[in-house]
Amino acid sequence: MSESSRMQRPALPKVSRRLRADDCIVVDKKELRRAQIGAGIGNFIEWYDIGVYGYLAVTMTAVFTEGMDQSMGLLVTLFGFAVSFIVRPLGGMILGPLGDKIGRRKVMFFTIALMAGATTLIGLLPTAGQVGLWVIVPLYLLKMLQGFSTGGEYSGAATYVAEFSPDDRRGFMTSLLNSGSMLGFAAGAAVVAATSVITTSAWGENAMLAGGWRIPFLVALPLGIVAISLRSKIPESPTFEAAREAAEVGEVHPMFVRHNLPNIFRHYWPQILIGCALIAADGTSGYMLTSYMPTYLEAEIGSPAVHTAVAAVVVLVLQAVLIPVIANWSDKIGRRPIYMIATIGNLVLLVPAFALMHVGTMWSLYLSLFMVALPSAFFLAMTGAVMSELFPTASRYGGMGVTHNLSISIFGGTTPLVSQILVNTTGNHFAPAYYIMFFSVIALCATFKLRETASRPLLGSVPVVRTREEALALAKGQDENELLDTSTMLLAPVPARAPETSS
């Protein structure tokens, strides 16, 4: 970071900042487990809704745009995705700084209630046949509420889990959020498929149009109740509490100041640029797999929809298993090597994967999807940890909310649309692969500017450990430990001793 972009620090007296064992936060295993589940269920519900809406798109077109041209109606329905992404950055910009002010737990409680409520209400909307095409308006409004809540949900959950996790397990712990996301998407697709089979068997071929489509959305209500119950029992992040207590007694210098949105951009623009570059590659790679591949395989390859859906669920479940394995690896070898594997993996595997899709067999379908999913798993394994590690505790929720949501909305959410436009305008069936590879090159360049953060305390935080013995060992060996930098920690200053003189 250049001198002009650094926060100006006031002159401080000559003091030494020594880490004591009592300064370290020793995580309670039971509370950590409760925090992990309480935070993770929000991502599950978020992606459950994306899966349900995506796999019901054709049915919802008939339900909400009855009387409209079918091709136009499909665009109107799919625009529901776009409106949710339009307001997602707004959610991050408002809810992120709010979470830095009042706490992670309170904002996460709000986001899960809003998300589950909006999804449930979609299942209660009247149809166009009942009230006319104006029903699209409340549908879009509810999708906007979902997008707003999502803008604060993932960044809040990742911040919360990162601050709750032992430093040497932070990659693994935060990666479980994205594993939950993949399982949520797979669950949404599975619930739609199961609902379709059951309702049509019981009430005939038109059962989904007659009301069966509502069931997957209404399932969000019990899921939401469970999530709210779990989140009502989770404690506040210990790192946030420690930072707030220190601020109240005046132990603050500029790194530990809670910044508003303009100052987040002013002080942390280098981190924001690095984060946006990484998330652009992460998002385009991920949304290519989850949101565009079904359309591409059906429209360009002619793969039957049922084969595509089953293959997508299988690959997503496999990816959900791989993500924490890769993240655990990153805790040992570092974040930067994992990002390099992810970016180079896209550059090497995507073109062969798209070529393999055109073989048109079942084995080529599964193998090609796995080749697309593998680099994406490496990206997703890093998202929660690295985005949390870019910013200090006082402004972490706000910084991550801005960075993640801006990039994922501009680049990730537009991937299906841009990919299809590229195919249509160029006539090149490999164009989507080249599009993802472009962002992977940018992310690879950003990786060289990324500070290595694996197993290090979060900026603005004291070390988080699993046992008292670990805390004692850190305090004893702090002078030789390259992973510790006490200047980034909230520690009580100890006056430096005057040098001894001979008598």
Question: CB neighbours of 345 closer than 8 A, spacing ≥ 6?
Answer: 374, 375, 378
In the predicted model, is pLDDT for residue 485 greater than 80? yes
Question: How far apart (Å, rounded) are the C-alpha atoms in residues 494 and 297?
Answer: 64
Q: Say which DSSP state 208 is in.
A: I
Helix 415-426 vs helix 431-447: crossing angle, to nearest 10 = 130
Query: Mean pLDDT throughout 121-142?
Result: 92
Q: Give bridge partners of residue 464 from the DSSP assignment.
A: 25
Residue 139 lies in a domain: yes
The 3-state secondary structure of 371-432 reads: HHHHHHHHHHHHHHHHHHHCCCHHHHHHHHHHHHHHHHHHHHCCHHHHHHHHHHHHCCCCHH
Q: Say which DSSP state 366 is in.
A: H
What domain range is 378 assigned to?
17-238+251-470
Tally of domains within the chain: 1
Question: How far apart (Å, rounded) are the C-alpha atoms in residues 463 and 444?
Answer: 29
Position 153 scores a pLDDT of: 86
What is the pLDDT confidence band of residue 305, given thresholds at 50, 70 and 90? low
In the predicted model, is pLDDT for residue 499 greater than 80? no
What is the pLDDT confidence band of residue 273, given thresholds at 50, 70 and 90? very high
Question: How far apart (Å, rounded) are the C-alpha atoms in residues 321 and 324?
Answer: 7
Residue 22 lies in a domain: yes
In CATH, what number is assigned to the domain containing residue 274? 1.20.1250.20
Q: What is the C-alpha R_g of the chain?
A: 24
Contact 326, 338 (CB under 8 A): yes
* Averaged pLDDT score across all residues of the chain: 85
Residue 308 lies in a domain: yes
- pLDDT per residue over 2-48, tens digit each? 433 333 333 434 445 788 888 888 988 888 888 888 888 888 888 88
Residue 59 lies in a domain: yes
Residue 481 lies in a domain: no
Q: Is 56 helix (H, G, I), strand (E, B) or coil?
A: coil
In the predicted model, is pLDDT for residue 283 greater than 60? yes
Helix 104-122 vs helix 70-102: crossing angle, to nearest 10 = 160
In the predicted model, is pLDDT for residue 87 greater than 70? yes
In the predicted model, is pLDDT for residue 496 greater than 80? no
Backbone angles phi, psi at 49, to 5 degrees: -65, -40
Residue 494 lies in a domain: no
Go through the chain and tell me how many residues it has.
503
Backbone angles phi, psi at 494, to 5 degrees: -115, 120
Contact 268, 400 (CB under 8 A): no
What type of residue is 328?
N
- pLDDT per residue over 151-194, tens digit each? 888 888 898 899 889 999 999 999 999 998 888 888 888 888 88
Helix (H) or strand (E) holding 307: helix 305-333
In the predicted model, is pLDDT for residue 196 greater than 90? no
Give the residue from 50, 112, 135, 150 showing the smallest Cα distance to 409.
Answer: 150
Question: How far apart (Å, rounded) are the C-alpha atoms in residues 267 and 247?
Answer: 19
Q: What percent of the chain clears pLDDT 70, i.e. is strictly above it?
A: 91
Q: Is 25 helix (H, G, I), strand (E, B) or coil?
A: strand
Residue 485 lies in a domain: no
- What is the number of H-type helices and E-type strands within the chain? 20, 4
Position 399 scores a pLDDT of: 92
Q: Give bridge partners of residue 494 from the DSSP assignment.
A: 16
> What pTM does this model have?
0.85
Residue with tokens 């008598």: 503
Q: Say which DSSP state 11 is in.
A: P
Give the residue from 501, 467, 397 showing the smallest Cα distance to 168.
Answer: 467
In the predicted model, is pLDDT for residue 205 greater than 90? no
Helix 29-55 vs helix 136-164: crossing angle, to nearest 10 = 150
Question: How far apart (Å, rounded) are the C-alpha atoms in residues 494 and 17?
Answer: 6
Question: How far apart (Å, rounded) are the C-alpha atoms in residues 287 and 10?
Answer: 45
In the predicted model, is pLDDT for residue 300 greater than 50? yes
Residue 297 lies in a domain: yes
